[in-house]
Amino acid sequence: MSPVTSSGDMNGVGEKWTLNNPLQEVDSEVYEMIKDEKDRQKKGLEMIASENFTSLAVMECMGSCLANKYSEGQPGQRYYGGNEFIDKLELLAQSRSLELYNLDPASWGVNVQPYSGSPANFAVYTALVEPHGRIMGLDLPDGGHLTHGFFTNKAKISATSIFFESMPYKVDPSTGLIDYDALEKSAALFKPKLIIAGISCYARNLDYARFRQIADQNGSLLMADMAHVSGLVATGHVPSPFEFCDVVTSTVHKTLRGPRAGIIFFRRGLKEVDRNGKEIMYDYENKINMAVFPGLQGGPHNHAIAGIAVAMKHAATQEFKDYQTNVVNNAKTLAAGLADLGYKIVTGGTDNHIVHVDLKSSHVKLSGAKGELILEQVNISCNKNTVPGDKSALNPSGIRLGTPSLTTRGLGKENIMTVVGFIDAALHIAVDAQAQSGPKLVDFKAKLEDEKFVSRVQELRNKVEEFAAAFRLPGHDDI
């Protein structure tokens, strides 16, 4: 893919032509900004649980000619011409997605066109739940996702609570585990059309069989949003939702390590034979395909769809399986290492790639915002997060950490223990600053600007960056 760099008037049409000149030359301002971000990624420790570093091969798809093409519709039934190769790519992405999860195409279909996870979820509700129909998802402060129907007593935050009626289920605040008994009771009263089994910050495996039982008691559909764990499902490191669910949505860029995109799996074929011997078929396919396009989206992102095909191929390899083993082992090491230092780990540990730390109930007694801030200052990225029992999502008590990105960079158990040391050292700088600033975030931020704290932060940041820069990072060298 070496670019032709001619800027001459090759065709004699009297126009200067620079479209094959490299970014660095065409727009050095943008090039430098991307380069700065690449540099940040290289020198930092990326611990946002939903992020990962995709492969060079996926990046090549994302920057390919596929980004030029319109192809509304399904393979073989497009609204535009010129889709011979686009059709082949989309069919390949579909078949590889089904194969990765051992799904028989007679019983399961997949739509690979959603732009990302949020549109995928909205498309499922649009397809299968009538307007103002009822959905139940894990509450956002309890580890659910915005698109599982989040609202507060002040506002309907997510469109999934504006256009559908949602009732959350919760975790038990004493254990941090999903309270399935309470869900069962609420569902019996609310009679949801659809129950969502999915998480954004929950370090334990889901009991899909129990979800199915509760769904069946109420005639509800069951959808899993496996976005966070789809890579781990592919390799058998966490339970698969497919046996129990009607529909499974996912993103492709988290543990699955593909392009930024979403997918929807749906059951198809024979559902049951009724008591009169009549065959009843699943009717999700057409509804879901129609909800994605023309219902909600326009042209599929064909560059992302090619990236999905590549990511699904990669995810079927032993290399990927070994990677996921390391993701989980690293998360367990991280959780145990922090717990040994006195940090309270929500649910006491992890089954997956997430480590959820309750800072306020730990010895450091810091808010999640202060934890996130100090870690960012030493170039460790994570996000503040509510913990069970938090009253305000705006002032959460914890942080969410994840190991997919660090594991992609090749960190193993010993390296993770070094990271534990960095996290602890950073949080202790914050403890000392808070002791002088008092509890308010604004005062805490100001205190960190004192010479003494600036130099402590800088010293630790230097160590973090020197450590991180030694690890591999997929993608282009400069950007």
**Residue numbers at the binding site for ligand DSN (CB under 6 A):** 50, 117, 145, 200
Please name every residue paired with 183 in a beta bridge, in sequence order, or none if there are none: none
Rounded Cα distance between 359 and 260, Å, is: 31
The residue among 109 and 168 lying less far from ligand DSN, judged by its C-beta, is 168
**Pick 125 or 190: Cβ nearer ligand DSN:** 125
Tell me the closest approach of the beta carbon of residue 6 to ligand DSN, in angstroms.
Answer: 42
Q: Closest distance between ligand DSN and the C-beta of residue 222, in Å? A: 20
Closer residue to ligand DSN (CB): 47 or 306: 47
CA dihedral 29, 34, 36, 38 (to 10 degrees): -160
CB 158 to ligand DSN: min, Å: 11
Q: Which residue is nearest to ligand DSN (CB)?
A: 50
Contact present, 314 and 320 (Cβ < 8 Å): yes
Q: What distance in Å separates the CA atoms of residue 194 and residue 181, rounded to the nearest whole number?
A: 17
Neighbouring C-alpha atoms within 13 Å toward the C-beta of 254: 27
Q: Distances from the Cα of 436 to the Cαs of 326, 340, 430, 446, 478, in angstroms?
A: 40, 27, 10, 11, 42
Instruction: Output 200 or 403, the one with its CB closest to ligand DSN.
Output: 200
* Residue 253 appears among annotated catalytic residues: yes
CB of 200 to ligand DSN, least distance (A): 4
- Three-state secondary structure call for residue 120: helix
Tokens of 269: 């074929």
User: What's CA 197's distance to the chain center, in Å?
Assistant: 15
Q: Least CB distance from residue 456 to ligand DSN, whole Å?
A: 29
Q: Please, which residue, 334 or 433, has the CB nearer to ligand DSN? A: 334
d(CA 289, CA 233): 24
Q: Write down the catalytic residue from 228, 253, 314, 353.
A: 253
Closest CA to 254 of 473, 475, 52: 52
Report, in Å, the least distance between residue 146 CB and ligand DSN.
7
Nearer to ligand DSN (CB atom), residue 74 or residue 386 = 386
Closest approach of ligand DSN to the CB of residue 50, in Å: 3
Q: Is 61 a catalytic residue?
A: no
- Least distance in Å: CB of 232 to ligand DSN? 14
The enclosing H or E element of 385 equals strand 383-385
Q: Annotate 461-475 with DSSP letters as a single string.
A: HHHHHHHHTTS---S
Contacts of 366 (CB under 8 A, 6+ apart): 359, 360, 427, 430, 431, 434
Residue whose CB is less far from ligand DSN, 134 or 145: 145
CA distances from 355 to 254, 257, 335, 339 (A): 15, 19, 6, 11
Distance CA 438, CA 446 (A): 11
Q: Between β-strands 165-169 and 134-138, what pairing exists: parallel, antiparallel or unpaired?
A: parallel
Beta carbon of residue 245, minimum distance to ligand DSN (angstroms, whole number) = 19
Q: Which is nearer to ligand DSN, 52 or 437 (CB)?
A: 52
Cβ partners under 8 Å of residue 276, min gap 6? none
Q: Which is nearer to ligand DSN, 250 or 397 (CB)?
A: 250
Of residues 201, 237, 353, 382, which has the active-site annotation?
201
278, exposed or middle or buried, with CB in 10 Å at 0-12, 13-18, 19+?
exposed
Return the bridge partners of 73, or none: 78
What distance in Å separates the CA atoms of residue 234 and residue 256, rounded to the nearest whole number? 8
In angstroms, rounded to a whole number, what is the distance separating the alpha carbons of residues 465 and 470?
A: 9
Cα 438 from Cα 200, distance rounded (Å): 32
Supply the residues annotated as catalytic: 201, 253
